[in-house]
Amino acid sequence: MNNNKVALVTGGNRGIGLAIVKGLSEHGFNVVLGCRDINTSEALAKSIGANVVAVELDLSSYDTRQRAISNITKRFPKIDVLINNAGVLEDTPFTELSSEALMSSMQTNAFAAFELTQYFANQMVSNGYGRIVNISSGWGAFSDGLTGPAAYSISKATLNAMTKVAANSYNGDIKINAMCPGWVRTDMGGMSATRSPEEGAETAIWLAMLGSDAPTGQFFRDKKQIDW
């Protein structure tokens, strides 16, 4: 299968992101693997398939993000699917959390997703099609009590709010949703986690291929809608 659609996956060089890259590649997408270290990821991309290309995508600051967006657009003028997967986990308790540490989490987990979503969704409107998937967490859900590490919960709750507002801002065949992958065996989740990266990626891949009659502005886990 080759659907000729182009998907950009942030943080695509390991964990859930890598599993998403591999899954989309198997479904015939041309995949742009976004990563901070391009030197180690080019060979990784080639090993997955000829339809996977690695690009440098540093999300830690506004300037690095804007440079990356410009470079990606020059090489790939039409992005059909965006997966905002890259994230950081700052585990300092709220009582000791500095504003600098919180801002660092917000930069990667929320602000980067906002900028990428806004930029590529605007392009998707012109193209008449787009799917955006934000990899969030139950720790960012008010319905679950925001019980995760402080900076992580705050930044993922912001990501959820952005998802809802963004989805309300675009008409037509543009679907913008968030999902919780569950507890996954990654560098962030640890090796005692109950799910493999492939299991964590399933819902994201499903959301990337939603039909035109599918919902937008919703939160999912295991392909089922959950509460914000």
* Residues annotated as catalytic (active site), given as ranges: 152
Positive or negative: CA dihedral 216, 63, 35, 126: positive
Positive or negative: CA dihedral 1, 16, 182, 120: negative
Cα atoms in the Cβ-side hemisphere of radius 13 Å centred on 73: 12
Residue from 78, 82, 38 nearest 58 by CA: 38
CA–CA dist 126, 155 (Å, integer)? 30
CA–CA dist 104, 28 (Å, integer)? 35
The H or E element spanning position 47 is helix 38-48
b/e sequence 66-76, b meaning 16+ C-beta within 10 Å = eebbeebeeeb
Please enumerate, as own/partner, the contacts of 71-78 that have beta carbons within 8 Å and a separation of 24 or more: 72/8, 72/32, 72/34, 76/6, 76/8, 76/32, 78/6, 78/123, 78/127
Tokens of 207: 């959301």
